[in-house]
Each structure stands twice: as structure tokens, then as C-alpha cells.
Amino acid sequence: MMNYSLEQLTGLTQTHLTSILVGEKTFLVHKQIKPQLEGLIQQAQVNGFAFSIASSFRDYPRQALIWNGKFSGERPILDNHSQPLDPHRLSDLEKVYAIMRWSALPGASRHHWGCELDVYARNCLPSEVSLKLEPWEYLTGHQAEFNQWLNEYLPQFGFYRPYQADRNGVAIEPWHISHIQTGQTMLQQLTVEKLQHVWEQHPFLGSKLVSEHAESLYKRFIVNISQA
């Protein structure tokens, strides 16, 4: 089993990544997943889908920017139905729990690993419609056919969806796919103690409160995923 550094696990380095061209855009992905990802993309093309990536690797500063925007009220915090909450009616701890339904903690995002992708079929997206990455798009909306295709073909290329069911942690994310072997290995090595160390060195809004509740947050939102 490959051993990963603290920086690789928490989005503070890109040493485990390589680039891949998808459509007209270049993305950073984990070196180990590139061959199977290319196979999945080619199979999608054969079946009439323009496989596209909305998000791949995301570093710690970018995740902290997203988190801080929501914690400060500059970005909306969504409820379980993707509707905005009033942040002034939430305690700081309630804000942490609400944010983590849809956005990971800095250092704890699976997107730091490069083996996690938010995907869609570009040719299924109606013209002049922007992708929102909300469940309805994949369950009943314009990505529904692509969603069914993913159900069939992801396992053949070593991928699955860690947020395919609501386990009272992270909300359902049918667009989020994970390379099974790589994701499992990196999750096993990402401990509460490592996260607390990174948060101390690279604080974000509410990081002290988060660190105080790290054990329960870790169990509910980080390791509480669907199994492949």
C-alpha cells in the first residue's frame, strides 16, 4: 500500500498528481487513476456522452476560500433541499454542520486527493443552462440518462460514488465519483490527529471550534460514506 504524506492527504501539495486533457480543458488528477479514467471517458464517447469534469483536484487554500465564504455569510449555506438558510439564525456549530452537508472542511475534502471527480455529460446540458451540481439534475433532470450510464459503467473502470446515499452526513452527490482503490487508501491514512495538526498550522474561520468537535465531525462527515 502506498504511503501518502500529510501534504498529499490534505491538499497542500500536487506531487501525487498528473494532468489530463478532457475536452478542451486540462485537469489535475492522481497519477494512479489516469489510465482507468481515460478508459471511462472513451467508453462514454462510444455510448454518445461527452464526458466532462466540473471539478477534480482542489487544493487546501481553495477549499478554505469556499469554507470561509460560507461561514462568513458571503456564500449561501444550503439546507437539505438546496435552499438557502439564514446564517444569522444559526450558532457557529450549527453553521459547521450545515456547511458540511454540501462542502468539506479544508484538509478533509476528498478533492484534495486527485482521485475524486465531479462529472457530467456536456452534450446533455441544455444550451444557455449552467450546471448547478444539484441532485435533481441527475435524478430527474438533464443528466438523468448520463446518471444511469454511470451506474452501469463506473464499476467496470474501478470507480464508484461515495455519496450515492444519504447517511445523515454529506448530502447525496450523484455527480461525485471516486477511484475505489486510491480513495480507500487515502481515507485510511487521513486521521483526526493529522487534520487537527493541519488546522493548527493553516487556520480557517471556525477552525478552533471544528478541532474541538473533530472526532464527531470525522465520524459523521468524513468516514461515513457509501461503500463500493
Own/partner long-range contacts of 37-46 (Cβ < 8 Å, ≥24 apart) = 37/117, 37/157, 37/159, 37/179, 39/157, 40/153, 40/154, 40/157, 40/159, 43/153, 43/156, 43/157, 44/121, 44/149, 44/153
Inter-CA distances, 159 with 92, 162, 190, Å? 36, 10, 20
* pLDDT, tens digit (0-9, with 9 covering 90-100), for 183-194: 999 999 999 999
Q: Which of 105, 6, 122 is nearest to 58 (CA)?
A: 105
Element (H, E) at 118: strand 116-121
Mean pLDDT of the chain: 97
Q: How many CB atoms lie within 10 A of CB 75?
A: 17
* pLDDT, tens digit (0-9, with 9 covering 90-100), for 25-72: 999 999 999 999 999 999 999 999 999 999 999 999 999 999 999 999
Supply the pLDDT for residue 228.
Answer: 86
In a domain, 16, yes or no: yes
In a domain, 147, yes or no: yes
In a domain, 228, yes or no: no
Which pTM does this prediction carry? 0.96
In a domain, 60, yes or no: yes
The amino acid that residue 69 corresponds to is: G
Task: Please state, in angstroms and rounded to a whole number, the distance separating the CA atoms of residues 111 and 90.
Answer: 27
In a domain, 217, yes or no: yes
Supply the pLDDT for residue 30.
Answer: 98
Count of domains in the chain? 1
Cβ 37 vs Cβ 53: under 8 Å = no
Q: Which of 169, 42, 35, 23 is nearest to 110 (CA)?
A: 169
Q: Using 50, 70 and 90 to split pLDDT, how confident is the model at 3?
A: very high
Supply the pLDDT for residue 206.
Answer: 98
- Residue at grid coordinates 438558510: 85
Domain that holds residue 79: 6-222
In a domain, 192, yes or no: yes
In a domain, 105, yes or no: yes
Task: Please state, in angstroms and rounded to a whole number, the distance separating the CA atoms of residues 2 and 24.
Answer: 32
* pLDDT, tens digit (0-9, with 9 covering 90-100), for 4-18: 999 999 999 999 999
Position 82 pLDDT exceeds 90: no
Q: How many CB atoms lie within 10 A of CB 12?
A: 19
CATH number for 211: 3.30.1380.10
In a domain, 94, yes or no: yes
Q: Which of 139, 63, 55, 44 is nearest to 107 (CA)?
A: 63
Task: Please state, in angstroms and rounded to a whole number, the distance separating the CA atoms of residues 151 and 68.
Answer: 34
